[in-house]
């Protein structure tokens, strides 16, 4: 019932958890890790069943109270262990142990769950080990864990928990090392925090520890920041842990000397290569020997800008949602080479004069004097277009070109791009192995051309969608809310969209995935996944294809199953249209003016803008989706074709 961490079975992440699986990867690579043992997930499930928790478990996903969860934890703790597990625990060495979580969802790139589960240190003896294992199991059912879990893995009611048992090391020093500097995201620095004694002193921040910066390439020490540690946690001879003052011979002395830093840095770089990701590594130093206790992908690094283009050029700004448009290597090359346009240019000026790629991110150079530049006497927006529209007998004529361009894009350009993308994807998936090099070259050329055109459409469509929304926003501020941007923007969006984030065709086909009528692969082939609305649950690189990481589509389908059970998609669509019409009629009724004719004319202007918005604004979602094809789904085929052409796949 206990699986050694050096056993091949430990690589089973679902059965033995993320922490144990990562440790097994280190051990299999020959890296210095202590021996350990894992209590598998199925033993946890068996203990829950034996504790008669079926009815209570059914309520967990309904946001239970702390009192309810406390009762669950009490039942888990009070139930005796299986005799076979007790016997296996009794066979472990009579040394002090660390008992740690190894949940199936833990220590992954999509979410670390760091610090959420129980850790019990300095445990000795069968009975104490059994109680510690149950404490780790029980820590699954806390409000803090379940709240985080619902956000990261909503398709599962609670985490499945394995438990990792490892001998405690009588460490002289311990700490955490990162293969990228977490302070600024620098990918060329190893950052190390180390303290005298055991590692929890670093984690809990109770003492000022040493800080080291190492050059990732040369492994030379760049900076040393000595701590002012006065006490630390140490392992006693009897296996207990206690806080002790730092001895006189250690005060003011580095935790890691040059040789230990060099060895640790080599190991961190090796783990980085092994995981093919920036990593967070826990370590201990005992008698000059470095041991690795844990490793996991390092997530949520800040963007690294050693030379920020925005500081040198005030007209240069980061592009994309939140200013964080990360481009794939293919897309970077496309931007640098320029793009070709297979459709008429838009009737509005493009938002940018130039595209610049730095550090994998897209920057745009704005015009020095844009048409919508604010004037001194109108502090919140330029409203010169109102003067123009007031002089027109037919206000809708001012937006006719925008509507026609949007109609062409939606009816001809976008379907063509999607059809071509699906052809490339399906052709590559089904026939790649049989294609000759000449045809492989044609396939990748078509993929690159598609990516250029998708990016061009994305950038061309953005001006019109946001210009129409901006116009309605200004009208609402002039005639309804005053200069309250939050209030006016909400009304403007509601008149156009109704329920925001509801993309009818995409959600309809995702519902088919949830019902089993469409495969996840076919769905991804049609839509990519770059813009599935899952809040902040998609912590993956934006250029990764669905075939490299299917989780976003799977999460979206699971969420839709839950939403569909509550409100069917058809009903949500109907409500969305009703909400949009109601918002429009309400705004129309409240438009003010000096006389009846002015109110009627303003209502005409407002109606024309809303109708144009309803035609143009779908481009916002559609342009995102075609970019997802170009930037996400096509990358898998491009990479596979490149491997075939270079012979890396062995064919």
**What is the mean pLDDT of the segment spanning 396-404?**
77
pLDDT, residue 77, reads: 95
The answer to whether position 387 is within a domain reads: no
Q: What percent of the chain has pLDDT over 70?
A: 69
Confidence (pLDDT) at 356: 78
Q: Is 214 exposed, middle or buried (0-12, 13-18, 19+ CB in 10 A)?
A: buried
Let me know if residue 302 belongs to a domain: no
DSSP single-letter state for residue 647: T
Give the pLDDT band (50/70/90) at residue 140.
very high
Question: What mean pLDDT is predicted for residues 154-161?
Answer: 85
User: What is the phi/psi pair of residue 243, to 5°?
Assistant: -85, 125
Regarding predicted confidence, which is higher, 595 or 372?
595
Asked whether residue 242 falls in the same domain as residue 324, the answer is: no
Q: Which two tokens stand for residue 101?
A: 């979580």
Which residue from 195, 202, 124, 131 is spatially nearest to 163, judged by alpha carbons? 131
Cβ 561 vs Cβ 547: under 8 Å: no
Provide the pLDDT confidence category of residue 432 given band limits of 50, 70 and 90: low
Confidence of residue 636 (pLDDT cuts 50, 70, 90): low
Considering the domain architecture, whether residues 138 and 227 belong to the same structural domain is answered as no
303 within a domain of the structure (yes/no): no
More confident residue, 365 or 594: 594
Among 83-97, 225-239, 427-441, 477-491, top mean pLDDT goes to 83-97
Q: What mean pLDDT comes out for the span 56-80? A: 87
pLDDT value, residue 620: 64
Question: Which range has the top average pLDDT, 73-82, 299-308, 427-436?
Answer: 73-82
Residue 177 vs residue 385, higher pLDDT: 177
Say what the pLDDT of residue 650 is.
41
Which has the higher per-residue pLDDT, 445 or 496?
496
Question: Do 407 and 490 lie in a common domain?
Answer: yes
Do 271 and 319 lie in one domain? The reply is no
Please report the pLDDT score of residue 322 as a whole number. 46
- Is the pLDDT reported for residue 633 higher than 80? no
Q: For residue 574, name the pLDDT band (cuts at 50, 70, 90).
A: confident
pLDDT-above-90 percentage for the chain: 26
Distance CA 539, CA 109 (A): 7
Mean per-residue pLDDT of the chain: 77
Residue 467, class by beta-carbon neighbours within 10 Å (0-12 exposed, 13-18 middle, 19+ buried)? buried
- In this structure, how many other beta carbons lie within 10 angstroms of the beta carbon of residue 189? 23
- Are 108 and 256 part of one and the same domain? no
Mean pLDDT score, 23-44: 92
Per-residue pLDDT band for 96 (boundaries 50, 70, 90) equals very high
The CA radius of gyration of the chain, in Å to the nearest whole number, is 30
Q: Cα(583)–Cα(159) distance, rounded to whole angstroms?
A: 42
More confident residue, 627 or 20: 20
The pLDDT of 240-269, averaged and rounded, is: 90
pLDDT for the residue numbered 86: 95
User: How confident is the model over 26-41, as a mean pLDDT?
Assistant: 93
Residue 570 forms part of a structural domain: yes
Considering only residues 321 and 295, tell me which one the structure prediction assigns the higher pLDDT. Answer: 295
Residue 550 near residue 520 (C-beta atoms within 8 A): yes
Residues 181, 113 share a domain: no
For the ranges 163-167, 553-557, 597-601, which has the lowest average pLDDT?
553-557
Lowest mean pLDDT among 170-179, 181-190, 457-466, 590-599: 457-466
Write out the residue range of the structural domain in which residue 137 sits.
Answer: 3-166
Higher-confidence residue: 565 or 463?
Answer: 463
pLDDT of residue 563: 53
At residue 532, the pLDDT reads 39
- Max mean pLDDT among 29-33, 149-153, 545-549 falls in 29-33
Q: Is residue 391 part of a domain?
A: no
Residue 192's pLDDT is 95
Q: Are residues 287 and 319 in the same domain?
A: no
pLDDT tens readout for residues 171-191: 989 999 999 998 888 888 999
Instruction: Find the helix packing angle between 83-90 and 126-138, rounded to 10°.
Output: 120
pLDDT the model gives residue 332: 67
Per-residue pLDDT at 76 exceeds 70: yes
Greatest mean pLDDT range, 182-191, 387-396, 410-419, 619-628: 182-191
Distance CA 567, CA 272 (A): 45
Claim to verify: residue 269 and residue 360 sit in the same structural domain:
no
Q: What is the pLDDT at residue 74? A: 94
Please give the pLDDT value at position 371. Answer: 46
> What pLDDT does residue 528 have?
45
Has residue 261 got a pLDDT over 80? yes
pLDDT at 516 exceeding the cut of 80: no
Final residue of a structural domain among 244, 263, 297: 297
Residue 433 lies in a domain: yes
| Long-range contacts, stretch 639-646, CB < 8 angstroms, 24+ apart | 640/428, 640/432, 641/428, 641/432, 641/440, 641/443, 641/444, 641/447, 642/444, 644/432, 644/435, 644/437, 644/440, 645/437, 645/440, 645/441, 645/444
pLDDT for residue 219 is more than 80: yes
Q: What is the CATH number of the domain that holds 208?
A: 3.30.470.20
DSSP 341-360: -SSPPPSS--S-SEEEEETT
What pLDDT is attached to residue 499?
61
- Residue written as token pair 């690795």: 292
Based on the domain organization, do 158 and 242 belong to the same domain?
no
Average pLDDT over residues 158-175: 92
- pLDDT grade for 224, boundaries at 50, 70 and 90: very high
Residues 505, 434 share a domain = yes
* The pLDDT of residue 129: 95
**Residue 425 and residue 495 share a domain:** yes
Residue 583 lies in a domain: yes
Question: Has residue 235 been placed in a domain?
Answer: yes
Residue 396 has pLDDT above 60, yes or no: yes
pLDDT for the residue numbered 635: 55
Look at residues 137, 166, 195 and tell me which one is the last residue of a structural domain: 166
Query: Of 166, 191, 209, which one is at a domain's C-terminal end?
Result: 166
Domain count, the chain: 3
Mean pLDDT of 558-573: 56
Domain holding 108: CATH number?
Answer: 3.30.1490.20
Does residue 177 share a domain with residue 162? no
Is the pLDDT confidence value at 634 over 60? no
């Amino acid at each position: 019932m206990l699986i050694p961490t050096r056993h091949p079975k430990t690589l089973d992440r679902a059965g033995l958890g993320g922490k144990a699986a990562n440790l097994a990867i280190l051990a299999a690579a020959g890296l210095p890790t202590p021996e350990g043992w894992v209590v598998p997930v199925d033993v946890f499930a068996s203990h829950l069943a034996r504790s008669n928790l079926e009815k209570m478990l059914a309520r967990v996903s309904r946001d239970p109270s702390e009192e309810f969860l406390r009762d669950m934890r009490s039942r888990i703790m009070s139930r005796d262990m299986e005799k076979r597990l007790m016997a296996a625990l009794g066979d472990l060495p009579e040394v002090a142990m660390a008992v740690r979580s190894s949940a199936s969802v833990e220590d992954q790139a999509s979410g670390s769950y760091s610090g959420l589960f129980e850790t019990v240190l300095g445990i000795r003896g069968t009975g104490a080990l059994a109680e510690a294992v149950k404490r780790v199991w029980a820590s699954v059912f806390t409000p803090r864990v379940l709240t985080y879990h619902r956000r990261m893995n909503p398709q599962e009611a609670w985490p499945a928990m394995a438990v990792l048992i490892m001998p405690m090391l009588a460490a002289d020093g311990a700490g955490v090392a990162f293969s990228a500097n977490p302070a600024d995201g620098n990918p060329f620095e190893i950052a190390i925090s180390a303290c005298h004694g055991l590692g929890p002193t670093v984690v809990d921040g109770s003492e000022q520890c040493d800080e080291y910066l190492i050059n990732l390439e040369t492994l030379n020490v760049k900076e040393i920041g000595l701590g002012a540690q006065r006490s630390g946690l140490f392992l006693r001879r009897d296996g207990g842990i206690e806080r002790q003052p730092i001895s006189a011979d250690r005060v003011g002395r580095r935790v890691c000397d040059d040789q230990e830093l060099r060895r640790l840095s080599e190991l961190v770089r090796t783990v980085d290569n092994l995981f093919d990701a920036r990593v967070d590594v826990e370590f201990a130093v005992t008698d000059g020997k470095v041991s690795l206790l844990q490793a996991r992908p390092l997530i949520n690094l800040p963007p690294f800008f050693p030379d920020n283009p925005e500081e040198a050029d005030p007209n240069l700004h980061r592009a994309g949602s939140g200013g964080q448009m990360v481009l794939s290597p293919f897309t970077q090359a496309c931007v640098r080479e320029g793009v070709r346009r297979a459709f008429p240019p838009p009737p509005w000026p493009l938002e940018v004069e130039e595209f610049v790629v730095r550090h994998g991110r897209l920057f745009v150079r704005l015009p020095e004097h844009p048409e919508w530049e604010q004037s001194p006497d109108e502090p919140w927006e330029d409203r010169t277009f109102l003067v123009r529209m007031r002089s027109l007998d037919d206000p809708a004529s001012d937006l006719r070109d925008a509507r026609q361009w949007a109609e062409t894009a939606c009816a001809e350009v976008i379907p063509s791009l999607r059809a071509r993308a699906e052809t490339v994807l399906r052709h590559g998936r089904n026939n790649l192995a049989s294609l000759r090099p000449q045809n492989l070259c044609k396939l990748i050329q078509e993929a690159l051309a598609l990516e250029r055109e998708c990016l061009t459409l994305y950038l061309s469509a953005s001006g019109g969608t946001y210009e129409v929304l901006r116009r309605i926003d200004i009208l609402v501020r002039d005639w309804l809310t005053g200069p309250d941007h939050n209030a006016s923007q909400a009304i403007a969006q509601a008149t156009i969209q109704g329920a925001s984030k509801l993309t009818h065709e995409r959600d309809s086909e995702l519902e088919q995935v949830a019902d089993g009528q469409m495969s996840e692969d076919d769905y991804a082939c049609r839509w990519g996944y770059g813009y599935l609305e899952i809040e902040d649950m998609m912590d993956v690189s934006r250029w990764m294809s669905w075939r490299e990481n299917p989780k976003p589509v799977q999460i979206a389908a699971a969420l839709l199953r839950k939403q569909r059970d509550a409100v069917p998609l058809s009903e949500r669509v109907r409500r969305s249209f009703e909400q949009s019409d109601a918002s429009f009629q309400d705004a129309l009724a409240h438009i003010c003016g000096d006389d009846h004719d002015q109110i009627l004319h303003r209502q005409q202007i407002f109606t024309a803008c809303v109708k144009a918005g309803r035609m143009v604004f779908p481009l916002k979602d559609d342009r995102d989706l075609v970019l997802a094809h170009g930037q996400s789904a096509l990358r898998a085929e491009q990479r596979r074709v490149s491997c075939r052409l270079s012979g890396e796949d062995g064919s």
